[in-house]
Amino acid sequence: MSASLIGLDWGSTHLRAYLFGADGKAIESRALPHGIRQLPAGGFPAAFALAIRDWPVLPVLACGMVGSRNGWQEVPYLDTPTGVERLAQHLTRLTTPTGHALYLVPGLHDPHRPDVMRGEETQIVGVLAREPATTRLLLPGTHSKWVRLRDGVVTDFATVMTGELYGLLRQHSILGAALPEARDDDEAFRDGVAAARDSGPAGALSRLFSARALMLDGVLDPASVPDYLSGLLLGEELRMALAAGWTGAGDTIPMVGEGPLCDRYRRAADVFGLHLSRAPDGTTADGLWRIAGAASLASAPTFTAHSL
Amino acid sequence: MSASLIGLDWGSTHLRAYLFGADGKAIESRALPHGIRQLPAGGFPAAFALAIRDWPVLPVLACGMVGSRNGWQEVPYLDTPTGVERLAQHLTRLTTPTGHALYLVPGLHDPHRPDVMRGEETQIVGVLAREPATTRLLLPGTHSKWVRLRDGVVTDFATVMTGELYGLLRQHSILGAALPEARDDDEAFRDGVAAARDSGPAGALSRLFSARALMLDGVLDPASVPDYLSGLLLGEELRMALAAGWTGAGDTIPMVGEGPLCDRYRRAADVFGLHLSRAPDGTTADGLWRIAGAASLASAPTFTAHSL
């Protein structure tokens, strides 16, 4: 299979490179630790050269924070509603020192809230490639995204900083710092989720301190505080998603994300009686391929002429 | 005026010492940087000796984190409802290396949430000394406390970690780290408050990311992000307080706390059409004196016999 495209999933902390065959399957893929906050000496060009080393010179399509203000080149956000065609029409091109034509996928901007995403738009396109009828999507992560779609177009979305808040509270707050080594405690996790669910319209921020009070009461083992806190924050995200109409009783929302995190969300959803399913892996690569196709980046066989 | 009591307001980051005259007024007061997390070599006894240096040997009453698990001696929390008499009946006594009888005020535990406070119970007693009919109270701070009282007794309370959350987001998060030097921006503050007020039952956690989106949009000056974030979090606290019934339209809630912070809360309350007033200063000293009186620590003139 001749190679026809290079794809880059280039975020804050990771850089994944895909060498696509003409059928859109990855012939080879690489993971480097050179997210845009962890660049090697030589910066973006050096990281790029490492990522594509020994690969043929092909068009390159990149998504993620590489197109942010602190990225290689800033690519303006596109307002919702936006689908794959509009993304493909607004790629930004730069020429690398290695002579590659590198195209950057724009992020999305929801003017209602306002809110932004960068990288997730490509994952969403990847989901749509397999499930064109998707109308709701959850991308759990440091900054979870709840997404609404219509006819394959993202209409609006909201970011919830659950993962980042958990990290801050775990590492730096009176609740989470100075705890003994954590242990997995599913019951504490579910108790936290339930506390958030039962916090009513006041919300779980008003219950955060219960993590400390329960520990002082001897009800919550200090080693289980992290799971309780995780449950409280994931529960708050679900409570908010319900209150804001991102999900409702009877819905099944597909999730795109890492396995253990998606599993955690599914356990939290259980406590609410909600249903979250898991979308297949590989959505970013699929999305890159699909956007490249819509932009006719990888369609011409000439791209493989000077390859391998 | 002969001295009759020493009072200590001993928290995590501060130690204030009061030498009370027989009329309950402070003859002298001292502020030391030796909160229980910043003790000098020699620990609690050394900090204590510095605080009372040159003062007569008198009974000592101390409130705050000095009575916590990480304090000089742990004093169990008292469940609500609790008023000044019950606090006075449950002082824990220790004898210091200097030969002082040191009494520790217990903190309060609200079993409903659950929730805890340590130090604020003494401030509340101080407010009641002047305004016995107080039924609601707000103590803004790192951990804000919303308090309900009946007949001079604390019936229930809730902690909101607004100040700590602000500090975490400001120092360590994607929203607040790496900003240029902040500038005061009342409009950004009020915009943040309004965003929280208008977030509905979903709550302002779902709007946190707007601090970043508005900045990327060019609508919010990076130097104004801290005030916007502060407004969003204070607004969320007020939204919660309304949703949970801690305050309502037409109420005027007295606040106890530092001037600039109380002013900030008052500005946030304006945006909601709520009313927060400021209680007079000196509530901790007043509270210590009142608890000491209820415990008959400072009433006998013999306490001044071996003094000055």
Q: Which residues of A touch B244 (CB under 8 A)?
A: 200, 202, 206
pLDDT value, residue B298:
76
- Give yes or no for a contact between A95 and A59, defined as CB atoms under 8 angstroms apart: no
Question: Which range has the worst mean pLDDT, A174-178, A286-290, B192-196, B241-245?
Answer: A174-178
User: Which element (helix H / strand E) includes B289?
Assistant: helix B283-294
A302 contacts: CB under 8 Å, gap ≥ 6: none
Task: Give dist(CA B145, CA B210) in Å, integer.
Answer: 27
Predicted model pTM: 0.92
Structure tokens at B5: 């009591």
Nearest residue to B236 via CA among A199, A214, A248, A230: A199
Interchain CB distance below 8 Å, B164 and A143: no
Interchain CB distance below 8 Å, A116 and B207: no
Region B274-286: mean pLDDT is 94
SS3 A69: coil
pLDDT value, residue A281:
87
Tell me the shortest Cα–Cα distance from A126 to chain B, in angstroms: 24
CB atoms within 10 A of CB A92: 16
Mean per-residue pLDDT over chain B, rounded: 94
Q: Which of A86-95, A297-306, B242-251 has the highest mean pLDDT?
A: A86-95
pLDDT value, residue A243:
95
Share of chain A above pLDDT 70, in %: 96
pLDDT value, residue A249:
86
Q: Which residues of A touch B114 (CB under 8 A)?
A: 210, 213-214, 217, 219
Contacting A with CB below 8 Å, chain B residues are 69, 77, 109, 113-116, 143, 158-161, 164-165, 168-169, 171-175, 200-203, 205-210, 212-214, 216-217, 219, 236-237, 240, 243-244
pLDDT tens per residue across span B64-73: 999 999 999 9
pLDDT value, residue A301:
43
pLDDT value, residue A177:
86
Region A104-120: mean pLDDT is 96
Task: Give dist(CA A223, CA A211) in Å, integer.
Answer: 12
Task: Give dist(CA A182, CA A124) in Å, integer.
Answer: 34
Confidence band of A298 (pLDDT split at 50, 70, 90): confident
Residue in A closest to B74 by C-alpha = A216
Q: Is the pLDDT reported for residue A221 higher than 70?
A: yes
Q: Is the pLDDT reported for residue B125 higher than 70?
A: yes
pLDDT value, residue A305:
36
Region B4-23: mean pLDDT is 97
Amino acid at B224: S
Nearest residue to B138 via CA among B122, B155, B165, B157: B157
pLDDT value, residue B308:
36
Domains assigned to chain B: 3-131+284-304 (3.30.420.300), 160-278 (3.30.420.310)
Tell me the shortest Cα–Cα distance from B307 to chain A, in angstroms: 40
Backbone torsion region of residue B12, taken as left when φ is above 0, otherwise alpha when ψ lies between -120 and 50, otherwise beta: alpha
Mean per-residue pLDDT over chain A, rounded: 94
Structure tokens at A33: 């630790």
Q: Which residues of A touch B165 (CB under 8 A)?
A: 205
- Label the pairing between strands A15-21 and B153-160: unpaired
Task: Give dist(CA B17, CA B7) in Å, integer.
Answer: 6
SS3 A80: coil
Region B273-291: mean pLDDT is 95
